[in-house]
A and B are shown apart, each in its own frame.
Chain A
Amino acid sequence: MAELAPQGEVLSAPLVIEYPFTRTTGPVVGAFLTGLREQVLVGIRGSDGRVIVPPAEYDPVTSEDLTELVEVGPGGVVDTWAWVRHPSPKHPVDRPFAWALVRPDGADVGFLQAVDAGSIEAMATGMRVRPRWAEEREGSIHDLVCWEPEA
């Protein structure tokens, strides 16, 4: 059987697929994002009195609706962390940084955030951090760029 000759180099080209989703937030997540736009951190009080941040819509113990949004922060504590030597283009910081569980003052649980401390030596469990806000905020998670050590 005849064979079709390969043409040398096989062609390849960039291919980008993009879907422009818009999601409705509901009142609880909406309040959290509104807070980020206003430079206010918002958590929610659970049935056992714990303050959860970002606010959950349902109680993690009883599954009941949660409704009492409370302001937390602005400072916080690093509960645990991992150092990223080589940030990817999609990371919030373009130099080595830490992913950390940051527990804002007044909250009882931490949430995963980037901490831009400059070097791994500047990182420590229990260290105090403060939020770094984006200059232009629109009510998105990116309004809170990352956290940095308190001076």
Chain B
Amino acid sequence: MPEITLPASLQGVEPVRSVRTPARLEYRYTAGEATTRFLLGIKQGKILGERAPGGKVYVPSRGADPQLGVPTSEQVELPAVGTLTSFCVVNVAFYGQGMEIPYTSGLILLDGSDLPIMHLIQECPVDDVRIGMRVEGVWVDDADLAPTLESIRYFRPNGEPDVEVVQPGEGVTW
């Protein structure tokens, strides 16, 4: 690095070496009709999926089947019980985290649905978390139910024996 020369007024002064430059983007997120149906269900303590004409059940539904390109046509209430199909143990602290590390976030395939949702896995040591584990959602108190996935606090093991998980791509027929 080339040597710089400073004006007299800055000689011997502690130099600035770094600067904070946060990037902040303020949006208004509009859920759309299908996600609105899902979120209003959550507000009532229900998990609502939607079935497409091909038979697949999506949750949360975006209102259309991505395989067939047609609208979903039937509402399906799903239990807050499912199987962990994938997970990630978070060991690294980051800004805005709001969780004590280590913690686990997982993909949970609710019974009767064809698309996993992402949520926290708690009440289980991170070393015991495994694919195929059966889990159940823990809701907030009824009075605190709101149209957000935070109305489910987390998922926890429900004590049922593990099941085999079909890995992504396996058994998929187009």
Contacts from A to B (Cβ < 8 Å):
1-4, 6-7, 9-28, 30-31, 33-35, 37-38, 40, 42, 65, 67-71, 139-140
Question: Closest residue to A12 on the B side, CB-wise?
Answer: B30
- Complex CA gap A9/B31 in Å reads 10
- Complex CA gap A33/B20 in Å reads 12
Q: Is the CB of B5 within 8 A of A68?
A: yes
Residues on B with C-beta less than 8 A from A35 are 9-10
The answer to whether A23 and B26 touch (CB under 8 A), given A3-B71, A67-B3, is: no
Q: Is the CB of A140 within 8 A of B19?
A: yes
The answer to whether A22 and B21 touch (CB under 8 A), given A11-B147, A16-B27, is: yes
Question: Closest residue to A44 on the B side, CB-wise?
Answer: B4
Q: Is the CB of B27 within 8 A of A30?
A: no
Proximity bits, B12-44, A CB within 8 Å = 1, else 0? 011111111111111111111111110110000
Smallest CB separation, B51 vs chain A (Å): 10
Residues on B with C-beta less than 8 A from A42 are 7, 10
Stretch from B72-80, B103-111, B118-126, B134-142 forming part of the interface with A: B72-80
The answer to whether A4 and B24 touch (CB under 8 A), given A31-B4, A67-B3, is: no
B166 close to A (CB within 8 Å)? no
- If over half of B's interface residues share one DSSP class (helix, strand or loop), that class is named, otherwise mixed; here it is mixed
Q: Is the CB of A11 within 8 A of B35?
A: yes
Residues on A with C-beta less than 8 A from B37 are 4, 7
Question: Closest residue to A21 on the B side, CB-wise?
Answer: B21
Q: Is the CB of A23 within 8 A of B27?
A: no
- Complex CA gap A70/B31 in Å reads 54
For the A-B complex, the count of residue pairs with Cβ-Cβ distances under 8 Å equals: 140
Interface size classification for chain B: 35 or more
Question: Closest residue to A24 on the B side, CB-wise?
Answer: B18
- Complex CA gap A19/B22 in Å reads 5
Residues on A with C-beta less than 8 A from B96 are 18
Complex partner residue of A18 from B5, B22, B28, B40, CB under 8 angstroms: B22
Complex partner residue of B18 from A3, A20, A25, A37, CB under 8 angstroms: A25
Residues on A with C-beta less than 8 A from B75 are 4
Question: Closest residue to B2 on the A side, CB-wise?
Answer: A65
The answer to whether A40 and B7 touch (CB under 8 A), given A4-B75, A13-B29, A15-B27, is: yes
Q: Is the CB of A18 within 8 A of B24?
A: yes
- Complex CA gap A69/B11 in Å reads 11
Smallest CB separation, B120 vs chain A (Å): 20
**A-B contact sample (15 more), CB < 8 A, given A11-B147, A15-B28, A71-B9:** A10-B30, A11-B31, A12-B28, A17-B24, A21-B22, A21-B23, A22-B18, A22-B21, A25-B16, A25-B17, A26-B1, A38-B10, A67-B5, A68-B5, A71-B7
